[in-house]
Structure 1
């Protein structure tokens, strides 16, 4: 294992959140290493929305411009690798990569995102982030007035239906089993002509990621243009767990208002620590994390 230097901060994850933090730290002349494996959470998403100045831009273009700008700061380095292990070494941290390298730093930032766990439904993965989406703020305007399904049940389905009712009057909730709604919620659905289908989904019939129909287990079909779904997820990196970072009940890395985890010297930002899953939120939390990391370095050394 090759030892390759000491940094003020190692940032694991070089997408929107990590790059935003890297810029804040680079502008404070901090020695920073960004380690990125090139697998952003939204790599299938064709366009980013609800992000002022970048509305409708391809996420890969936003990331490319951000990387170019961040690397203009001479104290920031960037490598393409996957961080495999992390340990505390006294007051420092040592990170190992899949390329056989070891890097050391005083502080750590995880901007590692999450991995969606796809259901065993044919065609679902191909349509995910294209015509099967998770967020009406990110995608709702583009699929307004369309035949829209909601693959959820209970309170989550009710909440999503309430948000979508302003965007389309063609909503069908696919509960994939017995509906779990109160009488008051059912009355709301009836008032707004929202249908409920209890059948389990067998397959998504799609072409190049665009839904045509949903095929149910009884071989009946429902024509749809778009589908909202909430997926289970797992952390993209195991290193926060290795270091003892606590997680929330939902599975996010627990952070305070300054993006600090429960482990001293370790911060997290972006999708790994927030249910507000968007490029704009990743950039915002990365900026906060970068500033707070710099403050900790100042407090340690001044």
Structure 2
């Protein structure tokens, strides 16, 4: 079709939902339970880290911001899915689709930077403990979190502008349950080579760059922990990192699979499955990972649920 005959479509249709009515009901119930649990768990961590003075430290400041970020990430995707399953209307406007895609990648990119900052925090705490309060002071931590958000905002701005300027003249069915960029790109009737190159370079650099910083931090942490004189000291030092390291493995493992693509022949069903892990299950698991392995958070939670009687 020649450019002069292009007709810009005004809405897309999300096709990544089951056609069976029974499966839709089961999917709705599962998503609703997951979303309520995720929102409750992350809000609980935010409130506990805010209210309990024992959690007013740098590590829990970052944890509070991570929980807030995960809450926003799941809220960008799941509520829209629930509305589609209830109403049966799988359409989404062009502006709504571009906005959802931008917010999803903004939050995902910020997540990478914040996880790298949290790894840096653990490195300073374990490898340079005498300088920790100076190097990771309150203002420094606030600036690092702000820089993570700003970097995420700027990192995905250019690809989103390029995406919004592409012509879409039909078909308008997106084979996914949200406006992911790669299925959306396939629908454009214009030249997408520049955007694909920009997206690949930016996604690869943020993934591998933040992963390199995180990996370097943990290599130094491991070397320091192994030099500890007793096994008890080694366990104590590394116990503060295990929760964060678990989240790092889940987030980077799923994201590298999804967005560093070597072949377009990848199974779309498998990609959607990994997307569920990345944007739905990871925010769900985070509160449990950080509370079940953290004695201070568990103690604060117990005291919040069962307050000590006043003598």
Q: TM-score, normalised by structure 1?
A: 0.31
* Structure ranking higher in strand proportion: 1
Q: Which has the higher contact order (CA 8 A, sep 6+)?
A: 2
* Structure ranking higher in helix proportion: 2
Q: TM-score, normalised by structure 2?
A: 0.31
